[in-house]
Amino acid sequence: MISPTERIIAEVDGTIGWLTFNNPSKLNAMSADMWAAIAPVIDHFERDPAVRVVVLKGAGEKAFISGADINRFEERKSSAEAARSDGEAMRDGLSRLEHCTKPTIAMIRGYALGGGFLVALHCDMRIATENSRVGIPAAKLGIAYTLSGVQKVLDLVGPSTAKEILFTARQFNGVEAQAMGLINRAVADGELESFTRSYCQTIAENAPLSIAASKSIIAELMKSRGDIDRAKCEAIAKACMDSEDFAEGRRAFGEKRKPVFKGR
């Protein structure tokens, strides 16, 4: 497919939809056109039945996303209209990523800082190299991290560790980040892509409807208790029970073979 901007590359390789942040000369720093391109790329991957997992990565070897393009921010902050437009593009991109019905993985090599780590936090999982560097340097810049970003960090690591991350503005390597709960897996530099592909294959072999159901129900459970839509969760579970994939799963179990799920 063709992305709305050359700074975002979208490719489908087997069951994986790859979204690449392509601004390596600036360590893949995010600009407004990059934020705006996330939604149409996710839309495309969702419509493609071949895509079972969406993986986000940065171009080059130095960064996933180093943060926001500070130079561009400096140029545009004097205009309230431009600043509002950039903020809306960021919020829309993150919201679309968070609500993608297919599993999303941030594959992190090098730096994932500030707004860059915010992108990773809005993915379902994060796989990083042991030497990658993740962090939120907002306190070094005199700005506040977004409400959604702080909530994501809080949900992952709890209030005490969230305060450590935000108060110190430190960069944590992959091993530290995994121990803290910020990322799911830390792997050797040379194994990042092969490990991620293997992880995607494991997910792709499972039932898409079941995975989408789990994702939706977890999202509901993250809400305040009074806001949980229990009827929606029950309907999602019933749809899985009534699906062709469940029938295929039962047959495969009886025949002692791997099921072939079709997402219906």
**pLDDT digits 0-9 by tens, 60-71:** 999 999 987 766
**pLDDT digits 0-9 by tens, 99-121:** 999 999 999 999 999 999 999 99
Q: Which two tokens stand for residue 4?
A: 């709305």
Which whole number is the average pLDDT over 234-238? 88
Looking at residue 36, its pLDDT comes to: 94
Q: Which two tokens stand for residue 44?
A: 């495309």
Is the pLDDT score of 229 beyond 70? yes
Domain coordinates of the chain in residue numbers?
8-203, 207-255
Is the pLDDT score of 187 beyond 80? yes
Q: Which two tokens stand for residue 61?
A: 């070897």
Higher pLDDT, 50 or 75: 50
Helix, strand or coil for residue 79?
coil
Q: Taking all residues of the chain, what is their mean pLDDT, rounded to a whole number?
A: 90
- When pLDDT is cut at 50, 70 and 90, the band that residue 84 belongs to is low
Looking at residue 115, its pLDDT comes to: 92
Please give the model's pTM, rounded to 2 decimal places. Answer: 0.91
> Under CATH, which architecture does the 8-203 domain have?
Alpha-Beta Complex (3.90)
Distance of CA 196 to the CA centre of its chain: 13
Looking at residue 75, its pLDDT comes to: 57
Looking at residue 259, its pLDDT comes to: 87
The edge-to-edge listing of strands for the beta sheet with 111-113 is 63-65, 111-113, 133-135, 171-173
Positions of E strands within the chain? 8-13, 16-21, 53-58, 63-65, 104-108, 111-113, 125-129, 133-135, 171-173, 185-187
CB atoms within 10 A of CB 213: 19
Higher pLDDT, 255 or 214: 214
End-to-end C-alpha distance for the chain, whole angstroms: 25
Which whole number is the average pLDDT over 133-147? 91
